[in-house]
């Protein structure tokens, strides 16, 4: 047998194996490792542990008031954004009748007076009449248009605040950006961290789904500046956005860094005094003209000193 | 090694390698749909 030929054949086989190994290691390091959650499957699905926020169960995440008058009769269905679950769970436990909430261990039953969907689902359900009060950030233009198409007008009552925050990996050396930088990043004009004083790495500007609460907040920050298409650069370093308490409280995620905006860190104090430039309102939203008196009673409770205490205890910023 | 054996081996490695690579990619895409941006960023150093 030709020894030289055998060596060539073995080298070709080895080269092919190494090619696939290299490819798979690359896919693992640049893709699989980044998208593998360190949370349990249940947490991954729900993002937060829903059972920590079920009213009337002694759940640890629910803060309520035991002296408020409970509503009777036509009980309004309440729902809201994922990030505001502790808040409406606290309000429900304070003023709703105990038997009105039906949680089956994984989700709320259809006939329950409290649901837990998300911003997209909550706005749609409010318009469709499947929810009567929702707790969310401001609606997107599409959500307003959907309401208008169905002859519904929103009655928005601000009950608290939270900060809209931008987050990066802690390995990113940038700590502070300006609102103009945010607009530059998400319009695609700034695409390398070195332009902001960081390392020479591309910026992977992550976005969320259209009409989610935080994507709508980004659109409001951008104003008239068009948002570039969502893109992910494999070798870059990411930036994303969320709400402060969702990151620090509900997810308790300590492996991300929240950026200062215009030199101001989002703290309860800077959000309350308005020095953090992009604090977002937390709203209780109902249909204008809803004749159910309990809708008004529940919203009045949210604005009462007891209700505002729940806002604060749940991790958000009460209105002044 | 006979040429036929060599080519069969190459083809086998190619098929298995491609299968594993595509499998990993599909697995990654499924994970990507369930992970939150917050956790993705925490994983992405």
- Cα–Cα distances (Å) from A32 to A36, A74, A186, A213, B31, in that order, read 6, 49, 25, 27, 8
Closest A-chain CA to B22: A24
Q: How far apart, in whole angstroms, are the C-alpha atoms of residue A61 and residue A53?
A: 5
Q: Which residues pair with A241 in a beta bridge?
A: A166
Please name which of A191, A104, A206, A87 lies closest in space to residue B38, comparing C-alpha atoms: A206
Give average pLDDT by consecutive 10-residue segment, chain A, 320 residues: 86 95 92 74 55 90 89 95 91 95 90 92 95 94 95 96 94 96 95 95 88 89 90 80 86 85 94 91 95 96 96 90
A49 lies within 8 A of chain B by CB: no
What confidence score (pLDDT) does residue A235 get? 77
B2 pLDDT tier (thresholds 50, 70, 90): confident
In terms of Cβ atoms closer than 10 Å to its own Cβ (0-12, 13-18, 19+), residue A283 is buried
Grouping H, G, I as helix, E, B as strand and the rest as coil, residue B20 is helix
Prediction ipTM score: 0.89
Closest CA to A208 of A157, A137, A257: A137
User: Environment class of residue A174 by beta-carbon count within 10 Å: exposed (0-12), middle (13-18) or buried (19+)?
Assistant: buried
Q: Which residue has the higher pLDDT, A288 or B34?
A: A288
b/e map A236-263, b = 16+ CB within 10 Å: bbbbbbbbbbbbbbbbebeebbbbbbee
Compute the distance between CA of residue A77 and CA of residue A156 in angstroms, rounded to an integer: 16
SS3 at position A155: strand
**Chain B neighbors of A251, CB-CB under 8 A:** 36, 38-39
Residues A189-221: b if buried by 16+ CB within 10 A, e if exposed: ebbebeebebeebbbbbbbbeebbbbbbbbbeb
Question: Do A36 and B24 contact (CB within 8 A), yes or no?
Answer: no
Q: Would you give the DSSP letter of residue A168? A: E
Q: Which residues contact A219 (CB under 8 A, 6 or more apart)?
A: A140, A141, A227
HEC-encoded secondary structure of A280-318: EEEEEEEECCCCCHHHHHHHHHHHCHHHHHHHHHCCCEE
CA distance A243 to A160: 13
Taking CA–CA distances from B8, the nearest residue in chain A reads: A13
Suggest the residue from B23, B41, B43, B45 to mutate for an interface test with chain A (most A CBs closer than 10 A). B41
| Chain B residues whose beta carbon lies within 8 Å of the beta carbon of residue A242 | 37-38
Element (H, E) at A257: strand A257-258
Category of A300 on φ-ψ map: left (φ > 0), alpha (ψ -120 to 50) or beta:
alpha
Contacts of A287 (CB under 8 A, 6+ apart): A126, A127, A132, A152, A153, A154, A155
Q: Rounded to an integer, what is the distance from CA B13 to the centroid of its chain? A: 13
Integer CA distances (angstroms), A165 to A62, A228, A256, in order: 24, 19, 11
CB atoms within 10 A of CB B40: 22
CA A51 to chain centre: 18
How many other β-carbons are positioned within 10 Å of the β-carbon of residue A179? 14
Chain A nearest-CA residue for B13: A17
Contact B41 A45 (CB under 8 A): no
């Amino acid at each position: 047998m030709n020894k030289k030929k055998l060596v060539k054949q073995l080298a070709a086989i080895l080269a092919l194996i190494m090619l696939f190994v290299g490819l798979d290691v690359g896919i693992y390091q640049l893709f699989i490792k980044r998208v593998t959650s360190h949370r349990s499957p249940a947490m991954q699905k729900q993002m937060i542990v829903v059972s920590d926020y079920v009213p009337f169960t002694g759940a640890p995440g629910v803060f309520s008031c035991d002296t408020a008058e409970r509503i009777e009769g036509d009980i309004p269905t309440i729902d809201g954004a994922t990030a505001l679950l502790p808040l409406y769970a606290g309000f429900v436990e304070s003023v709703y009748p105990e038997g009105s909430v039906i949680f089956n261990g994984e989700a709320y039953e259809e006939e329950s007076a409290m649901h837990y969907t998300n911003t997209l689902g909550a706005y749609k359900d409010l318009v469709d009449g499947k929810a009567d009060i929702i707790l969310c950030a401001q609606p997107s233009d599409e959500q307003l248009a959907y309401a208008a198409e169905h002859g519904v007008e929103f009655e928005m009552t601000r009950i608290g605040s939270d900060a809209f925050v931008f987050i990066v990996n802690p390995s990113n050396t940038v700590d502070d950006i300006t609102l103009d930088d945010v607009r530059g990043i998400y319009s695609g004009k700034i695409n390398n961290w070195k332009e902001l004083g960081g390392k020479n790495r591309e910026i992977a500007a992550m976005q969320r789904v259209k009409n989610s609460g935080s994507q709508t907040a980004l659109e409001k920050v951008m104003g008239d500046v068009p948002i570039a298409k969502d893109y992910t650069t494999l070798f870059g370093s990411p930036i994303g956005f969320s709400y402060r308490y969702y990151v620090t409280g509900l997810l308790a995620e300590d492996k991300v860094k929240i950026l200062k905006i215009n030199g101001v860190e989002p703290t309860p104090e800077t959000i309350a005094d308005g020095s953090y430039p992009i604090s977002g309102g937390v709203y209780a939203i109902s249909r204008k003209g809803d004749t159910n008196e309990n809708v008004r009673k529940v919203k009045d409770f949210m604005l009462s000193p007891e209700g505002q205490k729940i806002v604060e205890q749940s991790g958000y910023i009460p209105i002044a | 090694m006979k040429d036929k054996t060599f080519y069969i081996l190459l083809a086998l490695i190619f098929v298995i390698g491609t299968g594993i690579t595509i499998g990993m990619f599909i697995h990654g895409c499924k994970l990507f749909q369930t992970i939150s941006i917050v956790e993705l960023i925490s994983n992405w150093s």
